[in-house]
Structure 1
């Protein structure tokens, strides 16, 4: 009986593949509303809206508003559910390898590592602790300090030691010359992160889009301000971030907008200072651990 089931499944898959090869192309559409258990209102890529049915094999509950679907050319029946459309820039953010960095390889920052783990790691690994106490989980953390003190290295260590997705973006790469494109990338980035929870978003050089707003300025300045407003909306809008955490890094915290710095958006500000004498010894030990040495050093 098991063998018959297996062969039946293979037969159906082969039949579907054969139909796909012989069939004509399909239209791309979007589900707007479910009318009843069988009928949906969809919008095609060309613009018109239609009331259509769907293939019996498709799970009707998964066809929620905003879902991308493939429609038959003639009957416009929903043939299959498609994945969310993702900007290649956002897709590459998630699939960038952060490398393998252990906490022991970060010298002189033990206190900063402890604070980072409290804000980022603890809410993702033990969210029930926060529910038991009755407090909201922190959303994000800001790392600030002089260049070269280990802000990016700390974020990479966090990504390497946690079993979650990691999105790295340099804020200056988001800025686009076309109006609205930068804000769209921010929206897609957070939507993609919510689809791949648990997820950590690391935004380096946040001062590129998070600078203080002012009334005067060029059209380029206004576009950057629109990008910042979209970022603020995503951080504390109506959509809860859930298991998405934000790490931002900058070496110029004085130029950041006060709205970005307030609690509820960035709940913890961690300074990454220049290493003192003890920290320099730790760093030297880490970098010299694989070097062949002779005598006492």
Structure 2
């Protein structure tokens, strides 16, 4: 193996730069040329491919986002788009690729694998919704970002004796809401995998204030509904006047925490090891603190929600 390429695709996540850095430096250590693909699969089709040097990955491990930039691509889903991407890789003499991203990115990687390009996937997404890994790259940082925001909001909620409804990311996965809700002591948490009746939320609010609580925090994953909808429900069924905060894309950015920097480095290094061993069509994750390797078909299976259910139940028990 003489040449390897790396790209980031889909939504950015903290720790992607650490993974790119690891792929680049480990490859160079073994005498392999590394090429960065800018703007994900769009860049692969457009030929936006540049040979990376050590200076290109210097001082990036602490930066959020991805210096290779990212984009979503509908065209790459077509046979024409994939053929164009492979042609550009062939021009550079590249037949190995590390793809850092989520489910959609993995499907693109699998398509290239089936067409003869050796590919390894690294789970980079803040949603933590990838099967075959306990934690995805960027999830820990996103969860900490939410936790810090909620801690700040709680100060204001306490000062003004108010209820705050905080909407977090998670259209199909409630990991951010569940984990950050437990970490911040939220009174109610709403996630797609396990919803509770809004009447239960009202019961917790009323009994809490009756026993002297001065504020309440409710965390809602965007896949369940908007924070505004929940605020309207509370206003229509009580005398409370809740406030809404939508954290939005603030959850994606920021300096990666130590866990994501280390995880990105471990996954990036392992990806190079596998490609050197002629392994392809596999996705990397972390299970029981060990690097796990699963084929893409396994990763595409729905992630078990047992852990989230446990967290939701515990959060309910601790909300009294």
Structures share fold, TM-score greater than 0.5: no
Looking at both structures, which has the greater relative contact order when contacts are Cα pairs under 8 Å and sequence separation is at least 6?
Answer: 2
Structure 1 or 2, whichever has the larger Rg, is 1
State the TM-score, normalized to the length of structure 1: 0.28
The normalised TM-score by structure 2 is 0.26
